[in-house]
Amino acid sequence: MTTLSEVYREHAIPLRHIVPLDFHSVRTVPDSHVWPKSDDFSSDDQLSIPIIDLKDPLAVKLAGHACETWGAFQVINHGIPSNLVEEVESEARRLFSLPAQQKMKALREPAGATGYGLARISPFFPKYMWHEGFTIMGSPVDHARALWPNDNARFCDVIERYQKKMKDLAEQLTHLILKSLDVSQEDLSWDVGSPSTALQLNSYPSCPDPNRTMGLAPHTDTSLLTILHQSSISGLQIFKEGVGWLSVRPIPGALVVNVGDLLHILSNARFPSVLHRAVVNRDGCHRLSVAYFYGIPTDCNVSPLAKLLNSGHTPRYRSVTVKEYMILKSKNFEEALSLIGI
Q: Which residues bind Fe ion (CB under 5 A)?
A: 221
Interacting residue with ligand L37FFZMX among 26, 34, 111, 121 (CB under 6 A): 121
Query: b/e string for 280-317 if b means 16 or more Cβ within 10 A?
Result: bbeeebbbbbbbbbbbbbbebebbbbeebeeeeeebbb
Q: How far is the CB of 274 from Fe ion (least distance, A)?
A: 9
Q: Which of residues 121-180 bind ligand AKG (CB under 6 A)?
A: none
- The residue within the footprint of ligand AKG, chosen from 92, 225, 227, 291 (CB under 6 A), is 291
Are the C-beta atoms of 204 and 280 separated by less than 8 Å? yes
Spatial distance between the Cα atoms of 151 and 133, rounded to a whole number of angstroms: 21
Given 64, 70, 95, 135, the residue binding ligand L37FFZMX (CB under 6 A): 135
Evaluated on CA atoms 210, 292, 133, 205, the torsion sign reads positive
Q: Which is nearer to ligand AKG, 174 or 220 (CB)?
A: 220
Under the criterion CB under 6 A, does residue 219 sit at the interface with ligand L37FFZMX?
yes
Strand partners, 75: 52, 255
Clarify whether 287 is annotated catalytic: yes
Question: Between 170 and 209, how does the x/- string for binding to ligand L37FFZMX read (CB under 6 A)?
Answer: ----------------------------x-x---------
Residue count (the chain): 342
Among 62, 63, 216, 262, binds ligand AKG (CB under 6 A): 216
Number of residues that bind ligand AKG (CB under 6 A): 12
Please select the residue that binds ligand AKG; options are 163, 268, 273, 289, rule is CB under 6 A.
289
**128 near 35, Cβ under 8 Å?**
no
Q: Is the dihedral of CA 173, 179, 183, 186 positive or negative?
A: positive
Q: Alpha helices, DSSP H only, in the chain? A: 4-10, 59-69, 82-96, 100-103, 141-147, 153-179, 261-266, 322-332, 336-339
Q: Which amino acid is at 233?
A: I
The nearer residue to ligand L37FFZMX, 200 or 281, going by C-beta atoms, is 200
Work out how close the CB of 304 gets to ligand AKG at its nearest, in angstroms, rounded to a whole number: 24
From the candidates 108, 120, 277, 287, give the one annotated as an active-site residue: 287
CA angle 90, 236, 20 (to 5 degrees): 65
* Binding-site member from 62, 67, 95, 113 for ligand L37FFZMX (CB under 6 A): 113
Task: Please work out the total of residues on this chain that contact ligand L37FFZMX, with binding judged by CB under 6 A.
Answer: 13
d(CA 22, CA 300): 40
Task: Indicate which of ligand L37FFZMX, Fe ion, ligand AKG, none lies near residue 74 (CB less than 5 to 8 Å, by partner kind).
Answer: none
Residues annotated as catalytic (active site), given as ranges: 287
* Site residues, ligand AKG (CB under 6 A): 200, 202, 216, 221, 228, 230, 235-236, 276, 278, 289, 291
